[in-house]
Amino acid sequence: MNTYIVLLEYIISMELTEIAHINTGFTQKFGIPRQSGLVSEIGHIIFTPEFRNPTFIEGITEYDYLWLLWGFSKNKQLSGGTVRPPRLGGQKHMGVFATRAPYRPNNIGLSSVKLLEVQQSEEFGSVLVVSGVDMLDGTPIFDIKPYIPYADSHPEARGGFTDDLSKGIQVKVNFPEEQLQKLPEEIRTSAIELLSQDPRAGYDRGKQRDFKLAYHGFDIVFIGKEGEIVVTDVLKTHV
C-alpha cells in the first residue's frame, strides 16, 4: 500500500483524547479575550479520572507558563479557505491559516497560560490554577506542554496584520463605582481588563445599542460612546 494512503488512513482513524477541561468565568463566546494572556482571568484545569495520577504532572511546577491544546466546542465548521477576522471589521477576507480565527478545518485552539499553582482537591486530585485564559467555561483540553522560553519566544518576529493592532488597542472604560460594586471584588479588575480590550467586533463599533458581556454569573451591560466603553448596568444572572 502506498505510503500516502497509509498516512491518510492513520490521520482519519486518529482520535483526540480529552485529558481535562477548564473552568472559567466565560459562559458565552462574546467577550472572551481574542488571545491568551491579555486579561488576568483565572482558570482551573480539572483532569479526567484517567489522568489524575500525580505522575502525569510531575515536574510541572518548574515551569512558569504552559501551552494548552484545546477544542473549540461551540463554533461552526469552517466553510471555504478564508475567514473574516472581526478585528478587521469582518469585511476583509484572509486565509484561515494566516489567522487565529476559531473557524478551522480542525477545531483546535492553542493558548499560552501562566501556571499559578497546583491545588489538591479531594474530589478532583491535582488541579492546575492558571491565568491569562481565553477559553469558554468547560472547554475540553487535549494536551498540555511546558512553555520553553529559549525555543518558544521570538520577540522580533513579524506579526502580519496583527502588528497594526497589537499597540494601543485598549479603550477607555467608564465603569461607575455603583455598578462596579455589584461585582465580587476578586473579579473587578479582570472585568475592567476585559472591557478595555473592546469585546465588540469591528463592524459593531459604530452601533448605538446595548451590549452584554456574560462574566462569572453576571451580565455587564455597556454601550460605546465617544471612543470609550460606558457600563450602564450589572445584572446577576444566577443565584
In this structure, the number of other CB atoms found within 10 A of the CB of residue 71 comes to 18
Question: Is 203 a member of any domain?
Answer: yes
- Which of the four pLDDT bands, split at 50, 70 and 90, describes residue 233? very high
Residues 121, 14, single domain; the answer is: yes
Whether residue 209 sits in one domain with residue 178 = yes
Domain assignment of residue 158, yes or no: no
Domain end position, chosen among 102, 126, 152: 152
Cα distance between residue 113 and residue 42, in whole Å: 10
Q: Residue 20: which CATH number?
A: 2.40.30.70
> All 3 cell numbers of residue 127?
488541579
In a domain, 189, yes or no: yes
pLDDT in tens, 138-172: 999 999 999 999 999 888 888 887 766 655 467 89
Q: Give residue-wise pLDDT tens across range 106-144.
A: 888 999 999 999 999 999 999 999 999 999 999 999 999
Let me know if residue 81 belongs to a domain. yes
Asked if residue 163 belongs to a domain, the reply is no
pLDDT grade, residue 100 (50/70/90)? confident
Question: Do 15 and 132 share a domain, yes or no?
Answer: yes
Domain boundary among 152, 187, 221: 152
Same domain, 174 and 148: no
**Helix (H) / strand (E) containing 190:** helix 188-196
Query: In whole numbers, what is the pLDDT of the chain averaged over residues?
Result: 86
The pLDDT value given to residue 83: 82
117 plus 176 within the same structural domain? no
Same domain, 135 and 188: no
Cell representation of residue 227: 471612543
Q: Which of 87, 118, 152 is the last residue of a domain?
A: 152
Separation CA 189–CA 92 (nearest Å): 33
Q: Same domain for 17 and 122? A: yes
CA nearest to 45, candidates 116, 159, 141: 141
Which pLDDT score is estimated for 169? 65
Residues 120 and 39 in one domain: yes
Residue 100 belongs to some domain of the structure: yes
End-to-end CA distance of the chain: 61
Whether residue 9 is found in the same domain as residue 126? yes
Residues 117 and 175 in one domain: no
Evaluate whether residue 106 is within a structural domain: yes
Here the CATH number for the domain that contains residue 176 is 3.30.2310.20
**Number of domains, the chain:** 2
Q: Determine, yes or no, domain membership for 11.
A: yes
pTM for the structure as a whole: 0.83
